[in-house]
Amino acid sequence: MTLSVELLPESTLRDVIGLLVRLIESVGALIIFIGAIWAFIQFVRAGGRGRVAGFNRIRLSLGRFLVLGLEFQLAGDVLRTAVAPSFTEIGQLAAIAAIRTALNYFLGREIAQERAEIEHPDAPLQHSAKDLPA
């Protein structure tokens, strides 16, 4: 004897999840948009005075907005495949997750580097092998 309790039909569940995905992705896009506007306003206020520390602070803040927005976008992608995903959807999620994770990794690394430069402006910069003259 099989006992099956269906709280919501699959079609209704897909509709609800579709609405949640759009909401989460919209929040991610809004975070990125707000960050870009904020960074632009800060840049205009700085007046292009060429102060590296001020410019780095603006980039650091914008990077934080980008990372947070991308995390929301990834959450929406994961949620999209929550109900009976096809192999195509799983493959697309894997590709999207890999790209967004790589973006987040490199943004996070750059944010850490910018933060270190701001906190210790006199410390020598660490260069990778590609930055060294041939």
77-131 residue pLDDT tens? 889 888 778 888 889 888 888 888 888 888 888 888 878 877 777 766 554 444 4
Tens-digit pLDDT profile for residues 34-65: 999 999 999 888 876 666 667 878 888 898 89
Q: Quote the pTM value.
A: 0.70
How many other C-beta atoms can be found within 10 angstroms of the C-beta atom of residue 111? 18
Tens-digit pLDDT profile for residues 63-76: 889 989 989 998 99
Q: Say if CB 95 and CB 32 are below 8 A apart.
A: no
